[in-house]
Amino acid sequence: MTVTRVLDDDAQIRAELRERLGSDGLKIAQPDEPPLFTRTPESPMQPMHWKWADLHAYLEELGRVLDLKAGGDRRTLRLANPGLEYGTTPTFWASIQYINPGEVATAHRHSPDAFRFVMHGNGCSTTVEGEQYEMNEGDLVLTPNWMFHDHVHNGDEPMIWLDVLNISLSRKLENIFFDPYEAGVQPVSNQPQKSWREFGSGLMRPAGPAPKLERNPLLVYTKAQADAALTLARGLEPDPVDDVILEYQNPAGGGPALPSLSMKSQIIRPGFHGLMHRHSGSKAYYALKGSGTMLVNDQRFDWGKGDFITVPPYAKVQHINNGTEEGGLFRVDDTPIFRYLNAYFEETIPADGQTA
List the one residue out of 211, 209, 197 whose CA is nearest residue 254. Answer: 211
Nearest to 317 by CA among 288, 294, 335, 286: 294
74/316 with CB nearer ligand GTQ: 74
List the beta strands (DSSP E) in 220-326.
220-221, 244-247, 262-268, 276-279, 283-289, 291-296, 299-304, 308-311, 317-320
- Beta-bridge mates of residue 163: 95, 116
- Exposed, middle or buried, 110 (CB in 10 Å: 0-12/13-18/19+)? buried
Q: Does 81 bind ligand GTQ (CB under 6 A)?
A: no
Of residues 88-107, those binding ligand GTQ (CB under 6 A): 95, 97, 105
Nearer to ligand GTQ, 151 or 279 (CB): 151
Q: Give the residue ranges of DSSP H helices in the chain.
A: 2-23, 52-65, 167-172, 194-199, 223-233, 335-340
* 74 binds ligand GTQ, rule: CB under 6 A: yes
- Closest contact distance (angstroms) between CB of 99 and ligand GTQ is 9
- Residue with the shortest CB distance to ligand GTQ: 163
Binding to ligand GTQ in span 247-286, by CB under 6 A: none
Nearer to ligand GTQ, 74 or 339 (CB): 74
Residues 206, 135: Cα–Cα separation, whole Å: 25
Distances from the Cα of 273 to the Cα of 196, 278, 308, angstroms: 37, 16, 20
If the CB atoms of residues 103 and 326 are measured against ligand GTQ, the closer one turns out to be: 103
Closest residue by Cα to residue 154 from 130, 131, 187, 123 = 123
CB of 193 to ligand GTQ, least distance (A): 19
Sites for ligand GTQ among residues 229-248 (CB under 6 A): none
Nearer to ligand GTQ, 14 or 171 (CB): 171
CB of 16 to ligand GTQ, least distance (A): 49
Could you tell me how many helices (H) and strands (E) the chain has, helices first? 6, 22
Question: Does position 171 bind ligand GTQ by CB under 6 A?
Answer: no
80 vs 320, beta carbon nearer ligand GTQ: 80
What residues between 111 and 170 interact with ligand GTQ by CB under 6 A?
149, 163, 165
Residue from 45, 59, 75, 76 touching ligand GTQ (CB under 6 A): that is 76
Residues that bind ligand GTQ (CB under 6 A): 74, 76, 95, 97, 105, 149, 163, 165
